[in-house]
Amino acid sequence: MKSRLRNELIAGQAWKERRTVVFLSDFGTSDGAVSAMHGVANGISNHLRLDDLTHDIPQFNIWEASYRLAQALPYWAPGTVFVCVVDPGVGSDRKSIVALTESGHLVVTPDNGTLSHVADRIGLLEVRSINVEDNRLAGSQQSHTFFGRDVYSYTGARLASAVVEFEHLGPVLPKI
């Protein structure tokens, strides 16, 4: 059943029609970090709708980010791409991932537990490890501290604007 649903969602790729990216982070809004992520997404396509779930997650509080994501995600249309950046391990060797949910949403995030509530409440059909070498903002290879801008916003916008296919982001992870 899940493989049939996965195949239908992949074939339809509603995110190509929806063209919406929703951002969640622990950055706050007192500096330019959120604006930089929006700028990267807008640079991919100025036809994307960019929205913010919240940027007031307490710093590095993965549980809170996971909870808020699961709380809001079901109210967005299938095909919406979520970019979630609460990453105490930025610059480390933890994976960057993209998940296809059973509800037809995509979530771009670090592999650090941010998907826990979504996995439990909504379900995950497939999770892929993002090949960061191929899926990052041009010229950002030397930066290891702003994956939210350089990898997650960039990848989310490319998915939402159909510049890259979900299947081409990297290998499938067995289970997270």
Residue 32 phi/psi, 5° resolution?
A: -95, 10
What's the whole-model pTM score?
0.88
Least confident range of 11-20, 24-33, 111-120: 11-20
Burial of 46 (0-12, 13-18, 19+ CB in 10 A): exposed
Distance CA 81, CA 113 (A): 18
- CA dihedral (21, 97, 89, 76) positive or negative: positive
- 165 or 18: which carries more pLDDT confidence? 165
Tokens of 83: 């970019």
| ∠ Cα 144 107 127 (to 5°) | 90
- CA dihedral (76, 81, 85, 87) positive or negative: positive
**Is the pLDDT assigned to residue 128 strictly greater than 60?**
yes
Mapped onto helix, strand or coil, the DSSP state of residue 164 is coil
Mean pLDDT of 32-55: 94
Domains of the chain: 2-168 (3.40.50.10790)
Residue 156 phi/psi, 5° resolution?
A: -60, -45
Tokens of 70: 């699961």
The full DSSP string for 44-62 is H-TT-EEEEEES-SPTT-H
Tokens of 22: 């929703």
Looking at residue 67, the DSSP 8-state letter turns out to be H
Confidence category of residue 134, pLDDT binned at 50, 70, 90: confident
Confidence category of residue 132, pLDDT binned at 50, 70, 90: confident
Mean pLDDT of 97-123: 96
Confidence category of residue 144, pLDDT binned at 50, 70, 90: low
Rg of the chain on CA atoms, in Å: 14
- 133 or 41: which carries more pLDDT confidence? 41
Distance CA 166, CA 172 (A): 10
